[in-house]
Amino acid sequence: MRLRNVLPGDVDAYVRMRCDPIMMAHLGGPLPREGMADKVRRDAQKAADDLAWFKMIVPDAAEPDVVAGMVTVWSRDTGDGPISEIGWMVLPEFQGQGLGKRAVRTLLQQAGDQGRWGLVHAFPATNNAASNGICRSVGFRLLSPLEVAFAERVLSANHWVIDPGKELR
Ligand SMILES: CC(C)(COP(=O)(O)OP(=O)(O)OC[C@H]1O[C@@H](n2cnc3c(N)ncnc32)[C@H](O)[C@@H]1OP(=O)(O)O)[C@@H](O)C(=O)NCCC(=O)NCCS
């Protein structure tokens, strides 16, 4: 498995991840298809400028066109100052193979190695067993349940945090 920056041509993968009712079941439901190409272009530009880490998961380096999902680290302003946040998605045919966990661990390893991002927060939906499983098994600490805004929706989530330089397993 390797991670690479999101590119403007990743629209199909974004549509499959973000406009699909099953993929978005824990994230408030599917997003509209319109605007997805713009979203990919903006994310690709931010990735190229190294403002955020928007990474596509490539399961097999020998097949670089096949993507399994994505993992992202970005800075978000909470109103009380910025925090670093991580999120992830794995397409259905690649789920349950440990890829999500490996991708998250790989990106957090980079964060720790580079001393970038500080504490990294994750907010999986409280009933998202696989995402909470990823947090638990890579070394996040569970803080508390809370309500979070995602794509203009409000979701019940667990608040997890990790210091990637010290706590990654
Ligand atoms: C959540 C998601 C990223 C998990 O990716 P994945 O590659 O299937 O997960 P992994 O195979 O790496 O498994 C991660 C951990 O969760 C556990 N797990 C996986 N699927 C599970 C399930 N359905 N129920 C309970 N635990 C599960 C695994 O056993 C593993 O824990 P372990 O290391 O203790 O064994 C993927 O299912 C997904 O993208 N879902 C839809 C979108 C989404 O919910 N995104 C996340 C928003 S926070």
**Tell me, what's the pLDDT at 77?**
94
Could you give the number of structural domains in the chain? 1
Q: Is 15 exposed, middle or buried (0-12, 13-18, 19+ CB in 10 A)?
A: middle
Give the structural domain span for 149: 2-167
Cα–ligand 1 centroid distance for 98 (angstroms) = 8
Q: Which residues of the chain have pLDDT under 70?
A: none
CATH of the domain at 79: 3.40.630.30
**Tell me, what's the pLDDT at 44?**
98
Find the angle CA(47)-CA(149)-CA(152) to the nearest 5 degrees: 80
**Tell me, what's the pLDDT at 152?**
83
Query: Is the distance from the beta carbon of residue 133 to the nearest atom of ligand 1 less than 6 Å?
Result: yes
**Tell me, what's the pLDDT at 149?**
84
Dump pLDDT digits (tens) for 100-110: 999 999 999 99
Dump pLDDT digits (tens) for 31-67: 999 999 999 999 999 999 999 999 999 999 999 999 9
| SS3 (DSSP) at 137 | helix
Tell me the Ramachandran region of residue 159: left when phi exceeds 0, alpha when psi lies from -120 to 50, beta otherwise: beta
Percent of the chain with pLDDT over 90: 93
The conformation of residue 60, written as its DSSP 8-state character, comes to -
The whole-angstrom distance between residue 57's C-alpha and the CA centroid of its chain comes to 10
Query: Is the distance from the beta carbon of residue 114 to the nearest atom of ligand 1 less than 6 Å?
Result: no
